[in-house]
Amino acid sequence: MRLIAIISATILALTGVTFAQGNGTAIYPDITSSEDYISPLDSNHDQDAGSRAALVAALTDQQLNRGYPPQAALILTGIDSEELAVVSLHRNVLTTQFQARAYINQLAPSLRNLPVVTTSGATLKHNTLDLLKLFGFRRVVVSDGESFSLQINVF
C-alpha cells in the first residue's frame, strides 16, 4: 500500500499540474514564469478567506452577466484562500506574460468601487495587484490552462 502511495505521488509530481485546495482537481499547469510585485498598500487585516471568496464570486457573477462567455475562470485556491488563479477557458488566450498582465489589470475597474477599496485610500494609480492585496491575496496565477502559468507573488 505504501508503494502505491509513493508511485501515485511521483506520477502526480511529474505531471506538472497544480491542484485546487481540497478537491484534488488540477486547475493549471506548473508555473513557467514567476515574478514578485511589491505593493505600496497594506493588507486589510479584516479580510479573510470568506471575504476573498465573496470577491471572487462577485467578479465571476459580473463575467457571467456580460452577455458573452467569459474568457477565463477566476478560481480561489491556496492556503487560507490567498491565491487567485485565472485560467483561460479558450485556446490561444492568456498565452504570454503580456496577455496575463493585461487580463489582471482589466479587473481593476471592477474592484475600485468596492467598499473595502474606497475606504482604503487607494487611488487610480493603484493597480489590480494593489487592490487584491487589500483583500489579503498573496499570489495571482494566470494560465492558458495548457502549458503557460505566470505566478505573481504580491508583497
- pLDDT above 70 covers a percentage of the chain that reads 85
Q: What is the pLDDT of residues 36-81, one digit of tens each?
A: 999 999 999 899 999 999 999 999 999 999 999 999 999 999 989 9
Provide the pLDDT for residue 26: 84
88 DSSP β-pair partners: 72
Answer yes or no: is pLDDT of 94 > 50: yes
SS3 99: helix
Answer yes or no: is pLDDT of 150 > 80: yes
Provide the pLDDT for residue 19: 53
Provide the pLDDT for residue 23: 56
Output the pTM of the full model: 0.83
SS3 144: coil
SS3 124: coil
SS3 97: helix
How does residue 108 score in pLDDT terms, banded at 50, 70 and 90?
A: very high
Provide the pLDDT for residue 25: 77
Provide the pLDDT for residue 11: 35
Asked whether the beta carbons of 150 and 87 are under 8 A apart, the reply is no
Question: Domains of the chain: which residue ranges?
Answer: 2-154
Query: What is d(CA 73, CA 17) in angstroms, rounded to the nearest whole number?
Result: 17
What mean pLDDT value characterizes the chain? Answer: 87
Q: What is the pLDDT of residues 10-26, one digit of tens each?
A: 333 334 455 554 456 78
Query: What is d(CA 131, CA 141) in angstroms, rounded to the nearest whole number?
Result: 16
Strands, DSSP E only, in 15-148?
Answer: 17-19, 26-29, 33-37, 72-77, 83-88, 139-143
